Amino acid sequence: MSDSLWQLSASQASALMARRDLTSEAYVRACLQRIRAQDGTVKAWASVDEAGAIAQAQACDAMPRKGPLHGIPVGVKDVIRTKDLPTQFNSPIYEGFQAGEDAHCVAVLRAMGAVILGKTSTLEFACGGQFPATTNPWDAARTPGGSSSGSGAAVAAGMVPLALGTQTGGSTIRPAAFCGVYALKPTWGSVPFDGIKGFSPPLDTVGFYGRSTEDLVMLAQAYRLLEDEPIILTRPLRLGICQTPLWKQAEPEAALAFEALIQKLGQLGVEFQPVELGPMYADINVWQDVVMQNGGRFAFLPEALTTPQLLHDDFKAKLNNHLGLKGAVIRNALDQIDRCRMHFEAQLDTLDGVLTLSAPGIAPLGLHTQGMATFNRMWTALQVPCINVPALWSSAGLPIGLQLVHRRYEESKLLSCLLSLMPHLDAQRNPWSQT
């Protein structure tokens, strides 16, 4: 069994550890070995401290269990500060930088006994500039998506069962879709952004990656996001279907896979109701971009003042307000988004969740792109919780992301909905189990 320990999900490993059938050290060593075997191709990691991770695991094995996360290894996107490993933001300015302190989201996991395995590769400052070298574990010729490229790829490749990312546009859900892993972008503001390099405050959100719904439940519980324990609902589900304003940008194969799933679920008794967006949402991705670019006017000021020669031109353009954003335009974007949020959430009263696509299609070819956030920007702007479920597949067997959305602070309902859907979804494929 020790040869395939790295295949375990976090919740499977946690159950084994609770029964003392698995040590943290054995699990962590299996992950480290998998990294050694795979990361030459996948390039998911900015830094791994093998000795430090093993020491953390041994310490966990020697102390009483602190809960489900005890002894479980986690990867941390390298825009999130950690007290031991370097935090480099994929920026030459921060090469070898030691933050000396854990971000809030890391401190919580560490306090609950998680093992911080390493830092995962990211787009520079999770924003622009330099791309990471990370490849897609399903097909190394394809992008893993971004900006949380390393977190999505590391979980997909079997290198670590859980990882942290961030999302300002589509940076958590899109890599999850392209890499075929589970991810949760919780309600904006519910996991503090303290200790993470920000980009746009009304959008910046911590995101989680895992290998199963139970993994996401475990993380949501750790951060106290659940009003109630998620349960499998025995009554018929009632789901919204949301074809966002840019649905025509969905690739035919993705749209067909989505429709086929709706049809299948309908035959199984799920009730569907279209979520009406209407013309008020037509420009919501444009407003999201205004809010995002507005953040860029302020976020990189320290770096521009101290080390301009090492700051990519992308960030200088944002700092210099290359879009010429004025207060009136920013206020309008924020207000229109607020109106859409009220309109959207009002439709959730009678729904268990809303189904949509996580990305326009499979991961594009090439590492010069990270794909489009077309189907993520709206949800990030609305600040609502979203889950990627690897439940749709291309004819070539590549993952297409199914996205499940609810209104703010309804992570419990969102996870109950997913738990209830799971038996009917083809959502347990992994790159290593493919032919």
* Residues of this chain that bind a copy of itself (CB under 8 A): 98-102, 104, 107-108, 111-112, 188-194, 196-198, 200-202, 223-224, 227, 295, 297-299, 301-302, 305-306, 319, 326-327, 330-331, 334-335, 338, 341-342, 345, 407-410
Which residue in the list 9, 11, 147, 149 is annotated as catalytic? 147
Report whether 161 contacts 215 (CB < 8 A). yes
Q: How far is the CB of 112 from a copy of itself (least distance, A)?
A: 7
Instruction: Please list the residues that pair with 53 across neighbouring strands.
Output: none
Nearest to a copy of itself of 342, 396 (CB atom): 342
| For a copy of itself, the closer CB: 67 or 397 | 67
Say if strands 353-357 and 182-185 run parallel, antiparallel, or are unpaired. unpaired
**C-alpha 17 chain-centroid distance:** 26
147 catalytic residue (yes or no): yes
| 3-state secondary structure (DSSP) of residue 359 | coil
Let me know if 148 is a catalytic residue: no
Least distance in Å: CB of 272 to a copy of itself?
24
Least gap, CB of 74 to a copy of itself (angstroms): 15
What dihedral angle (degrees, nearest 10) is formed by the CA atoms of 134, 137, 139, 142? -30
Residue 202 or 431: which CB sits closer to a copy of itself?
202
CA distances, 31 to each of 28, 99, 125, 133, 276 (Å): 5, 25, 26, 20, 45
Residue 412 falls in the annotated catalytic set: no
The span from the CA of 316 to the CA of 336, in Å, is: 28
Q: One of 14, 24, 43, 77 is an active-site residue; which one?
A: 77
Across the chain, which distance is largest between two alpha carbons, in Å?
Answer: 61
Whichever of 100 and 269 has its CB closer to a copy of itself, that residue is: 100
Nearer to a copy of itself, 1 or 301 (CB): 301
- Cα separation, 427 vs 99, whole angstroms: 38
Q: How far is the CB of 205 from a copy of itself (least distance, A)?
A: 10
Q: Which of 24, 171, 212, 358 is catalytic?
A: 171
Reduced to 3 states, what is the DSSP secondary structure of residue 85? coil
Nearest approach, Cβ of residue 221 and a copy of itself (Å): 12
The residues carrying an active-site annotation are: 77, 147, 171
